[in-house]
Amino acid sequence: MTEHPKTLFDKIWHRHIVVPESSAHPATVYIDLHLIHEVTSPQAFTVLRERGLKVRRPDRTLATIDHSTPTLKNTDGSRPFVTEQAEKQVDMLLANTKEYGIETHGFDSDYRGIVHVMGPELGATQPGMTIVCGDSHTSTHGAFGAIAFGIGTTQVGHVLANQCLLMRKPKTMAIHVDGELGDGVSAKDVILAIIAEIGVGGGTGYALEYRGSVFENMTMDERMTVCNMSIEAGARCGLIAPDEITFNYLKGRKFAPDNFDAACKDWASLATDDGAAYDKEVHLKAEDIRPMVTYGTHPGMAMPIDGMVPAATDEAEEKALGYMSMTAGGPITGAKVNRVFIGSCTNSRMDDLRSAARIMKGRKVIEGVTTIVVPGSEQIKTEAEAEGLHKIFTAAGAEWREPGCSMCIAMNGDKAMPGELVVSTSNRNFAGRQGPGARTVLASPETAAAAAVTGVITDARTLKGAA
């Protein structure tokens, strides 16, 4: 045992302290990687201009366009932006990053994609880093053993100008999930079960660390799905210790370190020491986790798909059940579905698309259930097409779209109509998130695909072998 055992979070935190915190001021924390996109950066660049400041480290800044971008292309190759303002926002990102010399993956790049898909694909996301972005799902990058968290636009400005942030050290919480997951239980189900357990505010003030055999056995795609939704439990970041699976993922990628073996040796030393203490620990058993769906209007209102809709515990939950047209005490399977969305920074990577394709292969999307599959990036799109996954989706009657955030945040025009029920692989089921009046059920890619081919909420495990 080490003399002063430290957690993964503490080790990375201490490496990045420029000025330690005191009672009078927070710590000044150095940021290794700053990811930016069109929605939360324009006002930050305005502040730089007003104050006559430069971007301190353009070489540590990477940009893309994802939120406001259309997922369709016109026949002439142009892109149908939802509004002029959306197009202007994208143009402004491109102009700002050009002016300040920031590497940008726009429409002409093979790497353009959802910012949290792109960073890892480029190998820009690495263990031991501090990573920020004006987007709460920056927690995704914690899958690599990095402190990665979302910031607001004022802080985007702070990082652009100083490459640092002022922060108090959060508390730490270990979430242990040990054992073997059952057949048909995915990473999405694991994180939904965790959020249901600790609650949507349960992680507020904490950095999470996911520990145990379930996470150790996951692929990087799966780990990213888990860490992505840390914020849905209220935690700004969630980490998993880097290991051989992490190193193998990063090897050979564009920004992977030149001296890769030495880097791996250092990264391996980041894992939490035996005996290190957390402020809080939570234990779940893998065997208890079943495929999960949400039934209310926040991600903590999640239930096993083969269970009964729980009774409301307060007025807000009562209202949520009404909004969702869910009946407490009844099953959720069999509820009529109007749309299916497979995509988002939670579930738009190769593992996710393969899982959805396995269910859709040889089956047909039920007429009237609009189903769109939106790959997370140009890289994913190319790889999925090389594997023929797009043909499985289109043969089934689903649409295969251009990469972007799409219906997860519904600000590019991809949305549901009032009252429609959407089974969605995204991360938030807040009222109106996918369009005013739209009702969202969060689920895994398997469950979403099963909804598409049956027209109702369906336990994908009951379909197996039927194809």
Partner 1 sequence: MTFAPLTTITSKTLVLPAANIDTDQIIPARFLTVTSRDGLGEHAFHDWRYTEDGSATDHILNTDDAKQCKILIGGHNFGCGSSREHAPWSLTDYGFRVVISSEIADIFKSNSLKNGLLPIVIDKRAHEWLLDNPGADVTVDLESCEVRLPRNGGTYKFEIDEFSRHCLMQGVDEMGYLEMQADAIKAYEAN
Q: Helix, strand, coil: what percent of the chain each, to 5?
A: 35, 20, 45
Of 30, 262, 304, nearest to 147 by C-alpha is 30
If one asks whether residue 262 binds partner 1 (CB under 8 A), the answer comes out as no
Smallest distance, partner 1 to C-beta of residue 25, A: 4
The DSSP bridge partners found for residue 64 are: 105
**Which residues between 385 and 424 bind partner 1 (CB under 8 A)?**
409-411, 418
Nearer to partner 1, 118 or 235 (CB): 235
Q: Which distant-in-sequence residues (6+ apart) come within 8 Å of 427 by Cβ? A: 137, 228, 229, 232, 299, 344, 345, 346, 408, 442
**Which residues between 38 and 67 bind partner 1 (CB under 8 A)?**
39-40, 42-43, 46-47, 51, 53, 56, 67
Alpha helix locations (H) across 100-229? 115-122, 153-162, 187-198, 213-216, 220-228
Binding piece for partner 1, criterion CB under 8 A, among 112-120, 163-171, 254-262, 349-357: 163-171
Smallest distance, partner 1 to C-beta of residue 85, A: 4
Token pair, residue 21, equals 């915190």
Smallest distance, partner 1 to C-beta of residue 384, A: 26
If one asks whether residue 189 binds partner 1 (CB under 8 A), the answer comes out as no
If one asks whether residue 263 binds partner 1 (CB under 8 A), the answer comes out as no
DSSP string, 379-437: HHHHHHHHHTHHHHHHHHT-EE--SS-GGGTT-SS--PPTT-EEEESSS---TTTTSTT
Among 179, 205, 310, 331, binds partner 1 (CB under 8 A): 205
Alpha helix locations (H) across 163-217? 187-198, 213-216
Among 248, 311, 436, 464, binds partner 1 (CB under 8 A): 436
Smallest distance, partner 1 to C-beta of residue 426, A: 12
CA torsion sign for 211, 213, 217, 218 is negative
The DSSP bridge partners found for residue 209 are: 174, 239
CA torsion sign for 413, 106, 373, 401 is positive
Among 58, 79, 92, 176, binds partner 1 (CB under 8 A): 92
- The Cα-based distances of 369 to 213, 293, 395, 406, 440 in angstroms read 38, 18, 15, 17, 14
Nearer to partner 1, 242 or 435 (CB): 435
If one asks whether residue 152 binds partner 1 (CB under 8 A), the answer comes out as yes
Nearer to partner 1, 53 or 282 (CB): 53
Between CA 143 and CA 205 the distance in angstroms is 19
Among 157, 184, 304, 376, binds partner 1 (CB under 8 A): 157
Q: Mask: binding to partner 1, 121-140, rule CB under 8 A, as x and -?
A: -------------xxx-x--
Residues that bind partner 1 (CB under 8 A): 18-19, 23-26, 28, 30, 39-40, 42-43, 46-47, 51, 53, 56, 67-68, 83, 85-86, 88-89, 92, 134-136, 138, 150-155, 157-158, 161-164, 166, 168, 170, 200-201, 204-205, 231, 234-236, 298, 300, 314-316, 319, 409-411, 418, 428, 430-433, 436-437
